[in-house]
Amino acid sequence: MTRSSTTTTPRVPAASETAATALAPHRHHHGDELIRPGRPSASYAQLGRQLVTTFPQAVVKLDPRHVWRSPVMFVVWVGSVVTTVQAVADPSWFAWAVTVWLWATVLFANMAEAVAEGRGKAQAATLRATRKTTTAVRRLPDGSVETVAASDLTIGDVVVVRPNEVIPGDGDVIEGMATVDESAITGESAPVIRESGGDRSAVTGGTTVLSDGIAVRITTRPGETFIDRMIALVEGASRQKTPNEIALTILLTVLTIIFLLAVMAMQPMAIYSGQAQPPVVLVALLVCLIPTTIGALLSAIGIAGMDRLVQHNVLATSGRAVEAAGDVSTLLLDKTGTITYGNRRAAQLLAAPGLGNEEITRAAYVSSLADETPEGRSIVELAAAALDVPSRETLDRLPRAGATFVQFTAATRMSGADLPDGTLYRKGAADSVARWVTGHGGQMPSGVLTEVDGIATSGATPLAVAVKEPGRAPRVLGVIHLKDVVKPGMKERFAQLRAMGIRTVMITGDNPLTARSIAAEAGVDDYLAEATPEDKMALIKREQEGGRLVAMTGDGTNDAPALAQSDVGVAMNTGTMAAKEAANMVDLDSDPTKLIDVVSIGKQLLITRGALTTFSIANDIAKYFAIIPAMFVVLFPGLDALNIMGLASPRSAITSAVIFNALIIIALIPLSLRGVRYRAAGSTALLRRNIWIYGLGGIVAPFIGIKLLDVVVSHLPGMM
């Protein structure tokens, strides 16, 4: 059989283009750079303005009821109070200088958190501006309607929404189909299709119907809508500390207690040696020894991680989910609507032996004009792209010329057209067309049957095309190859996941032949065919029993149990309300491979926290050489050998170390908000890189910074 084809890649039907816009690979990926924020990072000038703006909030956060949440910074706060009392009781330039910079250390830590929270509050203000006081047309049980305030709606109410009206609350479409403007939520200008039934029935309160009309069953109470939850999330109100963050806080607390005991033990020794140290010196030593840098930035790092997700149009219900994404090793993806477009599309028009492309193309076009199914529309578009304009215009005149069209029905599984001259065109399932052909005195060529079997074996769907001209037996012109089309760029995206050490598994209810074909085309590592919700749950539990963290993307109600069981569940915003409620993340762009961004941001969060912890601890090591010799050089002159920085005096050394300890927090705020750049690489390579950059940098920076500050501080009164 001649395998001539008009094209191999079908054009996306116009009716689906708007929905497909959001499903294309995410625009923030370029090459192998996996982290590109949705908007440019704030410049230092912008950061300066943010610091000034958040200063009042940082002062408010000096309240001990807030500071005690960070044990490290609470110790600094207590030390600041102690030095303030001493500076008042026994004033000196040295005491006041140390006191002022200790308070600055606490303020700078509060500013880091306030700046991170400020970004979320700005996004929340934008979301609040999208909420409008709306009315709703509620349908009563007897079929009549009444106009009520949206705030009066309850779960189960059915509302009717017409063109240019705002949807009053979250719900599911139960009647009709409409295009909806969701730009207030997703930021995308292209409208999306929402229709009753299936996985695209969920609508969000505050979005606007552009065309047609729908009936919506409300599924949330006022004040608990998706936008309300978004506002709470981006404000940070729902952020809970993650397990790793809690573990790191415990480590920092233990180190703080150890250094506190060590400093307390120094005073009796100093008194015994006749060199009792004033409280301000002991407090300065303690603050410089404990890991204040990472203690000050820890909260900002967590808040900024969720903020980066929001920049990528992903909302997480907790920081735990973001962090878990960084450790994901298995990714499960639903095939329909996720890896593929979700409905069969015409991929090829294969002519029968001895026939050219023109005849089957014309027949496929004419016989599909009355087929309003997605498959029928895709055949029309595929054939139209191959026909020249005059031919297509001629065929479009058929209704006006008196042609009779045969609608596609589930019973006949065929569509077609009867022309005025007696020519009959039919297109449909191969067995239905075969019965029509034999019923009119024709027969199916063996070559066509072989082609039909081959397409079916590959997991695709074959449709036969036939024509009966006046006075002649019917002829089968060829076969239309329908298949569920894989979305563009999927193979490349899965290759990126593979480079990150993540195994991908496609889940589908299709038969194994279709599943294998789609899996090979998409480039996934494995697949689960004929999967039921129970099968998905069992697969996730098997993976988790091996100690692996599992992530899953889905959009249907049947995906909800698996989304709830997985460690990271990402629901598509175009999916059902059940899927959104079960997941711990919602992708507003409905890009099924957005999980690459989520995993990258999760890994970036972990790396940023580890890098700054390494820098902080290395930083403290360098400060030992500034303060310890300065405290006891009079008592033990041999310690002067450790004064390798050549600091001018004990007081200038201590003051310079305290000032540096405060300023380094401000210097690292941009990095904590932006995050350390992540590229797909092994954990060993990343660890080695971070140790060299942040470990070595943490040792070198204080030597340079403290020495430069000492040059200035040593010239101030009372520092010699």
Whether 160 contacts 137, CB under 8 Å: yes
DSSP codes of every residue in 183-227: HHHH---S-EEEESSTT--EE-TT-EEEES-EEEEE-S-TT-SHH
Closest CA to 370 of 426, 324, 332: 426
Distance CA 34, CA 5 (A): 38
Closest CA to 705 of 665, 651, 650, 649: 665
Identify the H or E element spanning 715: none
Distance CA 699, CA 703 (A): 7
Name the H helices within 369-406.
374-386, 389-396
> CA 659, 665, 671, 672: dihedral to nearest 10 degrees?
170
710 a catalytic residue: no
| Tokens found for residue 644 | 């390798």
Helix (H, G, I), strand (E, B) or coil at 314: strand
635 to 54, 295, 640: CA distances (angstroms): 45, 33, 11
474 to 54, 219, 412, 427, 479: CA distances (angstroms): 80, 54, 18, 12, 15
Which residue reads 């050219």 in tokens?
Answer: 356
| Tokens found for residue 497 | 């996941």
Whether 169 contacts 152, CB under 8 Å: no
> CA 37, 40, 45, 49: dihedral to nearest 10 degrees?
-70
Closest CA to 199 of 698, 659, 563, 708: 563
Report the 10 Å Cβ neighbour count for 555. 29
Feature table: binding site for ATP: 371, 375, 408-415, 427
The residues facing 161 across adjacent strands are 214
Report the 10 Å Cβ neighbour count for 619. 28
Angle (nearest 5°) at CA 214 between 211 and 218? 135
First-to-final CA distance of the chain: 98
How, if at all, do strands 135-139 and 549-554 pair?
A: unpaired
Distance CA 216, CA 214 (A): 6
Name the H helices within 483-559.
490-499, 512-522, 533-545
Name the catalytic one among 334, 484, 567, 620.
Answer: 334
Whether 578 contacts 557, CB under 8 Å: yes
In sequence order, the 6+-apart residues with CB closer than 8 A to the CB of 93 are 716, 717, 718, 719
Whether 367 contacts 404, CB under 8 Å: no
Phi, psi of 208, deg, nearest 5:
-120, 135
Feature table: binding site: 371, 375, 408-415, 427, 555, 559
Distance CA 494, CA 503 (A): 9
Half-sphere exposure of 483 (CA within 13 A, CB side): 25
The residues facing 166 across adjacent strands are 208
Which residue reads 């060199």 in tokens?
Answer: 275
Feature table: binding site for Mg(2+): 555, 559
Phi, psi of 497, deg, nearest 5:
-65, -40
Residues assigned a catalytic role: 334
